[in-house]
Amino acid sequence: MMEILITSIIAIIVVALLLFIIKKTAKVVTYIAAILLIIILIGLLTNLNFKNFVKEKTAKVVGMAIGKVEDKAVDYAKENINISKIKDNPILEVEDQ
């Protein structure tokens, strides 16, 4: 119980220091780096199975990004591609056998 309290206090101090640094240098890169550092430190301080945690979160984010790109591509195709033009002018003509 005491270990959890100590690690929580350390995590709060680290987060406070990082927020102070962010306030001084308000750049997007600093925000991103600080957030990643906070996640890493909290993960290490709370003795999580950190490799699996990072793999799981990374896979989830990458999967979501791919899904968003696919959705955008489908929406673009629905709005901008005219099927009748493709049917009238096929790129490859197949000979009947």
Whole-angstrom distance, CA of residue 89 vs CA of residue 70: 26
Whole-angstrom distance, CA of residue 13 vs CA of residue 19: 10
Q: Decide: residue 49, CB within 10 A, 0-12 exposed, 13-18 middle, 19+ buried.
A: exposed
Q: Higher confidence at residue 97 or residue 58?
A: 58
Return the pLDDT at 37. 72
Residue 37 neighbours by CB distance under 10 Å: 14
For the stretch 23-40, pLDDT in tens is 665 566 666 666 777 777
Are 18 and 42 spatial neighbours (Cβ–Cβ below 8 Å)?
Answer: no
- What's the mean pLDDT in 63-88? 70
Q: Rounded mean pLDDT of the chain?
A: 67
Q: What six digits make up the tokens of 90?
A: 């096929």
